[in-house]
Chains A and B, each alone.
Chain A
Amino acid sequence: NAGVIQTPRHKVTGKGQEATLWCEPISGHSAVFWYRQTIVQGLEFLTYFRNQAPIDDSGMPKERFSAQMPNQSHSTLKIQSTQPQDSAVYLCASSLAGGPDTGQLYFGEGSKLTVL
């Protein structure tokens, strides 16, 4: 049973360039989450989709970050005009929405973004 798949595992961009990160949730999971992990802030919630619909993007920096879920098998996180402070590990997670497993997130291994 494949887990959450994230690509690329590592990405290096120059300041001002665009970065797109991909996530394939576990088949059958209807909820998809994006988190950002840094040493200083720890794990920060970015955004959440349920049944492909955006539910909450309150954690997303408004101007340069966007997330989409065009189909149930993948989600993307796009960062435009990347800045050094965007350097972090971006984690995608999926879960069953509701039912006995409510609250259990299944995480991918993360995409480490380095902005030079």
Chain B
Amino acid sequence: GDSVTQTEGPVTVSESESLIINCTYSATSIAYPNLFWYVRYPGEGLQLLLKVITAGQKGSSRGFEATYNKETTSFHLQKASVQESDSAVYYCALGDTNAYKVIFGKGTHLHVLP
């Protein structure tokens, strides 16, 4: 079946350090999945961080970037210099073009130390 595997947390980094959260997917029933990163900040609901619907393209938001790599079935999330306000839980997800059944990874809890 379709699945998403991402870095197990918690991940702790210091402010201004670089970050990468790995995400790989298996899409056996979806030929061209849409890929997403969602984020849940403390006290807030889960929200979309970025999405990419075309292989080879890169999405970016709030200083985060992720590139849709169909060859390695990966969609790693990166940021060059994290801030304390980036502390949150990050979820990698995939869906079909209708995307009514979005499949999520288990989430990665990120702690950024001041």
Residues on A close to B: CB < 8 A?
Answer: 3-4, 31, 33, 35, 41-43, 45, 48, 50, 55-56, 91, 93, 95, 97-98, 102-110
Contacts and interface: CB of A to CB of B under 8 A. Distances in A.
Chain B interface residue number, banded: 20 to 34
A91 B48 CA distance: 14
B112 interface: no
A3 B45 contact: yes
B106 A105 contact: no
Interface stretch (B20-28, B67-75, B77-85, B96-104): B96-104
B111 interface: no
Interface of A, secondary structure class, is: strand
B95 to A, nearest CB: 5
Contact of B47 (A33, A35, A106): A106
Interface of B, secondary structure class, is: loop
B107 A42 contact: yes
Contacts of A93: 46
B34 A103 contact: yes
B102 A103 contact: yes
Contact of A102 (B46, B98, B103): B98
B104 A43 contact: yes
Contacts of A107: 38, 45-47
Given A33-B100, A45-B102, A110-B45, A103 B107 contact: no
A116 B61 CA distance: 41
A48 B91 CA distance: 20
Contacts of B104: 35, 42-43
